[in-house]
Amino acid sequence: MSYQPKPVDTSHIDLGQLGSLSEYLAEQAHEVWAEQRIKEGWTYGPARDDKLKQTPDLVPYKDLPDSERDYDRNMSSKTLKLILDRSYQLRPPDERVPVLLGEGPDNPDKDDMKDELELAWLDARLKKGETFLQPLIDRLKWFGKELRESFEEADADARDEQHKYLHASFWCMVCAAAAVFLAIGQLTFSTENPFLPVTELLLVCVAVGLVLLDFQRGWRDSWLAKRTRAERLRSLKFRTLLDPAIWSAVTRIEAEAKVRSEVRKINLISADGLEGCLHDAELDPRVPDMLTGNANLDHAIGTYYVRRRLVTQAEYVEKKQEKYHQANNATKLFGTMLFFAVLLFVFAHDVLDLVDLLSHPQPADAELHKMIGKILVALAAILPAASAALHVYRAGREDGRNHLRTVATLKRLNALREKLDGCQSRKEQIRLMVQSEIAFSSEHEQWLHLMKECDWYG
């Protein structure tokens, strides 16, 4: 016989925690074999007799001789190793965890730095006997005490500076455009009304004053710095939530001190240090197998993170995406309309001149046509100024590129959420949550660089 068996070499595969499954499969293989023998008419006998269909192996697996059990163990072990060698994945039952469902308060707060409603909901569960929630409640209260005041101050200041910056760009645009309109009107109609040049001068002075005031106050850079402070504090809360050190009694004091130190560093972020501040927020690439060592508590932390961080931020990004989309489409369409309106007025003026040249109108009609021609020329000259003003408005807001940025961010967050919904490995869930924090950090960095590049005054 020339047949030479060549089983796959699986000696390099370590079953680890799957060793218990190997023993279970060996017992199952014996049970299946015994069931089939009984169906074929075999019975127990002290020695194997094929004619009488008797075998001493028709006994429970635990009563088999070691040699027979080793045979079954060897088969099941090599089968499992072959499965792993072919890149299939098997996990012990204790590693399979429930999916991160979005359970929570009926009307959660839309600000993920506010946890009053969340704490009330968790307290109600705690009173019903879910005592494993106490560490999560304690940590959320601690975050509120250590981070909330600094966050709210930075958030309020950022909103205030943003309003100043955007309002200054808007009124600078209005005043400059109005001054140009008045200048063109005076040149076209040769008016000698002294009120018009004075008004024009005042409008120019207001526009220039707003530009100089922005240079002096630095509203844009101040807004970006304070918004970065707020977002860094928000990120610090959720990054710390995913740090096992904050949940361990042994390392908690050190972890809390580290958070306080980082809060002090974040509060020192200024407009001058924006370029390098985000490099300090890099996440530890190592992903822990668990956060607390308690499966129920880990699951509660995970559901809190998905609900308060991923879902809340995804909803916020979706609203911003729609807002940027509408603003970009409106202003982009308006700019196109202005361009074609200029061509239309110039064409109308040329047609009017051609009609006068060919028809030789009466003096009264000629005077009327002359006035209409001046109006058309004035409008054709004014509209490019309006287009320039619109460019100033668009440059200060970057609605187009912000729309593209939020579309990409929303897709990434939704993809992470889908993976979390279908993931049943605790370590993989933690890894995906860490990836979410990296996505948020990257999104803010892109926004910061984009807004640093834009200049609303030209």
How many other β-carbons are positioned within 10 Å of the β-carbon of residue 136?
A: 21
HSE-up of residue 132 (Cα within 13 Å, Cβ side): 10
Nearest to 25 by CA among 90, 76, 82: 76
> Which two three-digit tokens encode residue 304?
């809190």
d(CA 413, CA 421): 12
Sign of CA dihedral 12, 13, 15, 19: negative
How many other β-carbons are positioned within 10 Å of the β-carbon of residue 65?
A: 11
Nearest to 314 by CA among 408, 453, 232, 389: 408
Phi/psi at 217 (nearest 5 deg)? -85, -25
CB 217 within 8 A of CB 161: no
**pLDDT per position as a tens digit, 169-208:** 888 888 888 888 788 777 776 666 778 788 888 988 998 8
- Residues of the chain scoring pLDDT < 70: 1, 17, 89, 91-103, 189-192, 274-287, 396, 455-458
Count Cβ atoms within 10 A of the Cβ of residue 274 and give its class: 0-12 exposed, 13-18 middle, 19 or more buried: middle
Q: What is the DSSP letter of 56?
A: T
CB 150 within 8 A of CB 266: yes
d(CA 415, CA 390): 36
Contacts of 128 (CB under 8 A, 6+ apart): none
d(CA 180, CA 194): 16
pLDDT at 82: 83
DSSP 170-204: HHHHHHHHHHHHHHHHHHHHT---THHHHHHHHHH
d(CA 406, CA 309): 16
Could you tell me the pTM of the whole model?
Answer: 0.68
> Which two three-digit tokens encode residue 361?
């109108």
CB 13 within 8 A of CB 84: yes
The two counts, helices (H) then strands (E), for the chain are 13, 2
Long-range contacts formed by 98-101: CB under 8 A, 24+ apart:
98/299, 98/424, 99/420, 99/421, 99/422, 99/423, 99/424, 100/299, 100/302, 100/303, 100/305, 100/306, 100/420, 100/421, 100/423, 100/429, 101/303
**pLDDT per position as a tens digit, 382-441:** 777 777 777 777 776 777 788 888 888 889 888 888 888 777 778 888 888 888 888 888
User: In angstroms, how far is CA 139 from the centroid of its own chain?
Assistant: 24
d(CA 410, CA 416): 10
Nearest to 386 by CA among 397, 394, 398: 394
CB 75 within 8 A of CB 85: no
Could you tell me the domains of the chain? 16-90 (1.10.490.160), 119-453 (no CATH)
> Which two three-digit tokens encode residue 277?
């501040």
d(CA 337, CA 383): 10
d(CA 365, CA 373): 12
d(CA 451, CA 458): 14
d(CA 368, CA 365): 5
Please name the residue that has the structure tokens 């697996």: 61
Across the chain, which distance is largest between two alpha carbons, in Å? 135
Contacts of 325 (CB under 8 A, 6+ apart): 403
